[in-house]
Structure 1
Amino acid sequence: MWVLLSLFVIGLLLMTQKTNAEIIGCNIVDTVDLSSAQKLSNESYLYEGLLIPADLTAEYDIRPDSQEKVTRHLRGCVCKERTCVRFCCPRNQIMKNGVCSNMTDTELNALDLSLNITLDNGSLVKRKIKNDLMVQWDLPMSCETTKMFYLDNREKSYKYTVFENGTLLRHFDMVTLSKWEYCLQPHFFGDGNIQIVSHSCLAPQIGQTIVTIISMICLLLTISVYLMGQRNLVGKCLICYMVCLFMGYLFLLFDLWKISQGFCMTAGFLGYFFIMAAFLWLSVISRELYINSNTNSFLAQFLRTNHRFLTRNIYVWSVALAFTGVTYLANEIVEDEEWNPRVGSGGQCWINTQDWSAMVYFYGPMLLIVVFNTIMFILTVIFVVKARSEYLKRKQKPLEGLYNFTLFLRFFILMGLSWSFEIISYLARANPFWIDLFRVTDYINLSQGIIIFVGLVLKRTTLQHFKKRSEKRQALQNMIQLENMNLDQ
């Protein structure tokens, strides 16, 4: 009895081992399908001129990218014997406009491509695809090829490094991709050239999308509140700022989810226009705070003009339009890639923010406006602090306007600092540590609508104001009902 039970357990273990067979020290991503390979007498296999020992083979019944069951087939760990590269399309196919298609005989004969590989010792070598590298054709991607974006290594902004272990370093954001996260493929360009380029899936921007949508909803709520209550100049300017910020977020959301691909360049310039207008409205608000808080100073008198809201509108929209016009002309005329804003290039419907050209067309104007806002904020803070101390010395209650100025200052200083971090992160973009650190500021900038709503709407005075309006409305309704009842009697 015990002998039979032991034999049954041993048989079950052997069957389990065979079912879940794996090559020791080899990940399934480093294997290829050997179903069509030549089997030799010593149990080894010959695959595309490479001899694969028997101990580097095993049968698998799962897909390489998941635990989904498939027909049992033999795989070999070729990447232990030779450097592997993963191709996006099946064998003898080329990619055109995100679609894998069969190559013609002419294209096949002309296809003698090479790839620069960085070895483990740091040296750079050029390897021939046909002779020196092992191409993996059957590893599925986690998305459709039409939903991939590619990096054209001929452009400085989209350089990347392929390492001997199969990982890829993307230079523009210093992100390292594993073999699961990218693939290479000969790509047919419109000028007739065929180049090997890196393709990777568009990562879903779930976190940024959620924050952006919530921020946009908060902006709409705040705009509604200020349209009902705030009629002073600063309130009107704040509404214009929030409208521009909302539109900028909208086009950014379109870009995140590739909704604007059909009108990519138009969406890029519209988004740029509204973001620049938002910055200009922020400078107008900072100036108005200073003028209102310190009416007797020479600078305040110099900055004050008649028809103030009209002149502020003319200033903001004309300057934002001028910035957009200059950027558009540079995008069409400038031939030097490093100084071209490249709006709508590289699959992004936005201005290119990876090169030094961004400092000229985007971050440079942003920096000037942030510096101006900082000066105005500092001057206003100095006056508010002095005024409050004077009222306290006289044992008088500070004017309500001073509380409003203080509240506005808190949030506009916060917003100015967040945009400053955006500039700093751009300057430090080559350092992976700073890239990860300043990634938090991206979410802060996207959540400005939430910050404005919490700070300017969800405050005690605003809530009391709406409570009083609700009570008056209820009292009026009760009075009308009472009069109707008296008339009925």
Structure 2
Amino acid sequence: MRFVLIVLSVIIAEISGDIPGCDYFDTVDLSNSTQLADGSYVFKHIKIPKGKTGKYNYQIMFDGTFELIPEHTRGCVCQLMSCVRFCCEPQKTLVKEKRECVGNIPNYNPLVNVTFHNGTEAEIDIVKEFAVQLFGIPCESHFTLDPYTNPNEGWILYENGRLYRKFDGRDFGKQHYCMQPHKSKGGQYRLLPHQCNKPQDNTDAYIQIVSVVFMILTIAAHFCMPDFRSPHKQFSICFFISLTLSFSLLRIETFLRNYMKVEVCFIFACISYYAVMCTFLWLLIINFNSWQAIKEYGRLKVNVRKRHLFVWLTAALLLLISISIDFIMKNVDKDRFLEWRPGFTVYSCWINTADWSAMIFYHGPMLVILLANIGLFVRTAWTIYKENETTRAMWKRSENMQKSKNRANFKVFLKLFLISGVVWLLEVISYLTSCFDSELNMTWIEVPTSAQGIVIFVVTVLKKNELNSIYKR
């Protein structure tokens, strides 16, 4: 369907009188402007030559699709003066969740700080000084960037009509925003940019819900196995519980973030962060335990309590450090250090993953733990490789059986690492990539991440020996 719309858009553009060398969003509707005898038009005391006008029977929406409308004449005025896009007539207000403008605001402050090509700034009346462009209300679901109410929603309007959004460093053309009066802090109407919410794709949410169900089944199955009290099974169950809790909390957050009070949102963010860190650490413990067991030829006595203390206390320490740094930076200068502090509750009931701080407090610890896992994995694989037939023949039968079991445990870790570890590693790579190109489609990494629970169930439970052991028990 999307392909058909693109093809139709190209056909429409070809058969209509588009203005050569002029972007659609650099034009204005000349229906109410005066046409001179030579075919040119006068718009705001600016004469638009005939060669800079054309007939249009469509409008372009924020997502790039075309919408057919009655034919009219447009002029390429933005090549002659500065332009700014409004959602609708400058005296009206935009209705929330509707493509509709209502009312008539008699008095509001039309002054906006504009940054010019030479880097200077000035507060000017953009309604009078700029060409006001009306392309129709772009969408029903939209949001407002209001730095007067929320300092994190700062923006810059440039002389060429482009908008810079501060919190994620993105730059937008007139296709992706429009100005309109909006009631701000203190009940005062101000000219603020409005942007469209991206259409929600629930595919990832559905996969994650199914994944959580399969993770619960995996946990239940491991409790039914005869050796569920063994250290390896205990650590695996803890890993599965942490992963399930992480998935569940992060999915619940997307649905409830707009209904939580700030205090509840903060507590929710802390619990989610703690669960995620525990998940990474339990995978490390499973790997470390496999490496030690094989290195000690199956004679290792595992101190389960120490392993538990390491995971729970290390995750708590990481959380405490993040909260402390966030609190200190917030109180020193919350705007200046925004992109470097963890940012609990800044944009959601989670940490700030839009700025470089995510590399320090989220993706950074994840990367360190994954690299440690890779190191342990290489050492374990090398230990197995070095074993020769002579050494194996010297083992007692019990030791041989224990060694075989340890190898099986190592294979389980290998599968878990390939499922979760590699996916998390790709998530770090996708984060770094998105820092330089925020428009990249990351579905290729989001879907495998969300489907971890399904794959883990298949590779750890749906095995002949595991199913037989559950059946016999």
Aligned position for 2:7: none
Give the secondary-structure state (helix, strand or coil) at the position aligned to 1:113.
strand
Structure-2 change in CA distance of 1:141 and 1:247 (3 Å): farther
Aligned position for 2:315: 320
Give the residue type in structure 2 aligned to 1:316.
V
Aligned position for 1:276: 277
> What TM-score do you get using the length of structure 2 for normalisation?
0.71
Given that residues 96 and 141 in structure 2 are in contact (C-alpha distance below 8 angstroms), is that contact kept between their aligned partners in structure 1?
no
Uncovered stretches (5+) of structure 2, i.e. residues with no partner: 1-11
Select the residue among 195, 199, 203 that pairs with 1:199: 195
- Distance in 1 of aligned mates of 2:177 and 2:26: 14
The count of residues paired between Structure 1 and Structure 2 equals: 433
Aligned position for 1:239: 237
More displaced stretch, 259-268 vs 61-70: 61-70
Give the residue type in structure 2 aligned to 1:243.
I
| Match runs of 1:437-476 below 5 Å | 441=445, 443-458=447-462, 462-466=463-467
Give the secondary-structure state (helix, strand or coil) at the position aligned to 2:178.
strand
- Distance in 2 of aligned mates of 1:261 and 1:276: 25
Select the residue among 408, 411, 432 that pairs with 2:412: 408
What's the CA shift for 1:239?
A: 2.1
Aligned position for 1:483: none
Give the residue type in structure 2 aligned to 1:222.
T
Structure-2 change in CA distance of 1:46 and 1:436 (3 Å): closer
Given that residues 181 and 201 in structure 1 are in contact (C-alpha distance below 8 angstroms), is that contact kept between their aligned partners in structure 2?
no
> What TM-score do you get using the length of structure 1 for normalisation?
0.69
Give the residue type in structure 2 aligned to 1:181.
H
What's the CA shift for 1:275?
A: 0.8
- Distance in 2 of aligned mates of 1:246 and 1:404: 24
> Identity over the aligned pairs, expressed in percent?
24
Given that residues 90 and 181 in structure 2 are in contact (C-alpha distance below 8 angstroms), is that contact kept between their aligned partners in structure 1?
no
Aligned position for 2:178: 183
Structure-2 change in CA distance of 1:163 and 1:223 (3 Å): farther
- Distance in 1 of aligned mates of 2:369 and 2:343: 23
What's the CA shift for 1:150?
A: 3.9
Given that residues 38 and 47 in structure 1 are in contact (C-alpha distance below 8 angstroms), is that contact kept between their aligned partners in structure 2?
yes
Aligned position for 1:362: 362
| Match runs of 1:4-403 below 5 Å | 21-25=16-20, 26=22, 28-40=24-36, 42-58=38-54, 60-65=56-61, 68-71=67-70, 73-88=72-87, 90-93=89-92, 107-108=108-109, 111-116=110-115, 124=119, 128=124, 129-130=126-127, 132-145=129-142, 148=143, 150=145, 164=160, 177=172, 179-184=174-179, 189-190=184-185, 196-197=192-193, 199-206=195-202, 208-209=204-205, 211-229=207-225, 231=228, 232-254=230-252, 257=254, 259-263=256-260, 264-295=265-296, 304-305=302-303, 308=304, 312-334=307-329, 335=331, 336-337=333-334, 338=337, 339-346=340-347, 348-387=348-387, 399-403=403-407
What's the CA shift for 1:245?
A: 1.6
What's the CA shift for 1:241?
A: 1.6
What's the CA shift for 1:221?
A: 3.5
Bigger-Rg structure (1/2): 1
- Distance in 2 of aligned mates of 1:57 and 1:444: 50
- Distance in 1 of aligned mates of 2:163 and 2:212: 36
Aligned-pair Cα RMSD in Å: 4.6
Given that residues 117 and 126 in structure 1 are in contact (C-alpha distance below 8 angstroms), is that contact kept between their aligned partners in structure 2?
yes
Give the secondary-structure state (helix, strand or coil) at the position aligned to 1:107.
coil
Structure-2 change in CA distance of 1:239 and 1:87 (3 Å): farther
Structure-2 change in CA distance of 1:323 and 1:46 (3 Å): same
- Distance in 2 of aligned mates of 1:156 and 1:285: 41
What's the CA shift for 1:404?
A: 1.5
